């Protein structure tokens, strides 16, 4: 799948606000890929496609989790988590995409221990793209300009603190990712 094909698909699939967010993630992921020596085309493509399933029917997404034998605990946390792994599966069913790109899409919400450089770029770019506006985002932007792994840890901390303040459950994979990256020298 080319970037232009992905762009067309996303323009048709997402509502305007989410499309604008996506363009911000593309721009940010591209800049980070250049800075951290990652494949720029793959970063742009993963960023363009990352929220493909964001507005898909929740029941259908839950069905895909069951059909594909994905981690069933995905069904026990907020439905917000589903669009990343389900999006990667649906895209892989319909289009030819590299596993590296699919992996970045799959991991962009929860993170994953040992995630690749491309995964890390999309994970952070999604949180800091220029349209994001929440307390602490500027600190994440500064961190992302200095250290990719530092920015992954800071983004995970931000996510975990946000969930703690809301008194909602935290998906274990996110905590595992935090522990993994904090332990990385
Ligand atoms: Fe997302
Ligand atoms: Fe996103």
95-125 pLDDT, tens digit per residue, is 999 999 999 999 999 999 999 999 999 999 9
From the list 107, 109, 89, the residue with the least C-alpha distance to 97 is 89
Q: Of the bound ligands, which one is closest to the alpha carbon of residue 54?
A: 1
**For residues 151-176, average pLDDT:** 95
Question: Rounded to the nearest whole angstrom, what is the distance from the C-alpha of residue 84 to the centroid of ligand 1?
Answer: 6
Q: Of the bound ligands, which one is closest to the alpha carbon of residue 84?
A: 1
Domain parsing of the chain, residue ranges: 3-183
Give yes or no for a contact between 43 and 32, defined as CB atoms under 8 angstroms apart: yes
Q: What is the DSSP secondary-structure string of 76-91?
A: GS-GGGTHHHHHHHHH
Among 3.30.300.20, 2.30.29.30, 1.10.3210.10, 3.40.50.150, name the CATH number for the domain at 3-183.
1.10.3210.10
Backbone φ and ψ for 131, nearest 5 degrees, come out as -85, -10
Question: Rounded to the nearest whole angstrom, what is the distance from the C-alpha of residue 83 to the centroid of ligand 2?
Answer: 10
39-88, pLDDT tens digit by residue?
999 999 999 999 999 999 999 999 999 999 999 999 999 899 999 999 99
Give yes or no for a contact between 118 and 46, defined as CB atoms under 8 angstroms apart: yes
């Amino acid at each position: 799948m080319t970037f232009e094909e992905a762009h067309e698909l996303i323009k048709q699939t997402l509502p305007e606000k989410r499309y604008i967010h996506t363009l911000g993630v593309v721009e940010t992921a591209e800049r980070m890929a250049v800075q951290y020596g990652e494949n720029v085309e793959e970063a742009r493509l993963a960023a363009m496609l990352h929220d493909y399933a964001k507005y898909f029917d929740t029941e259908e997404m839950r069905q895909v989790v069951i059909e594909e034998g994905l981690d069933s605990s995905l069904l026990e946390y907020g439905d917000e988590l589903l669009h990343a792994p389900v999006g990667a599966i649906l895209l892989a069913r319909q289009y030819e995409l590299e596993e590296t790109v699919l992996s970045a899409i799959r991991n962009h919400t929860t993170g994953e221990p040992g995630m690749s450089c491309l995964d890390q770029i999309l994970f952070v770019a999604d949180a800091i793209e220029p349209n994001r506006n929440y307390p602490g985002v500027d600190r994440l932007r500064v961190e992302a300009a200095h250290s990719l792994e530092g920015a992954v840890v800071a983004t995970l901390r931000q996510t975990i603190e946000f969930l703690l303040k809301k008194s909602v459950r935290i998906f274990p994979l996110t905590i595992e990712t935090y522990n993994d990256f904090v332990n990385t020298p």
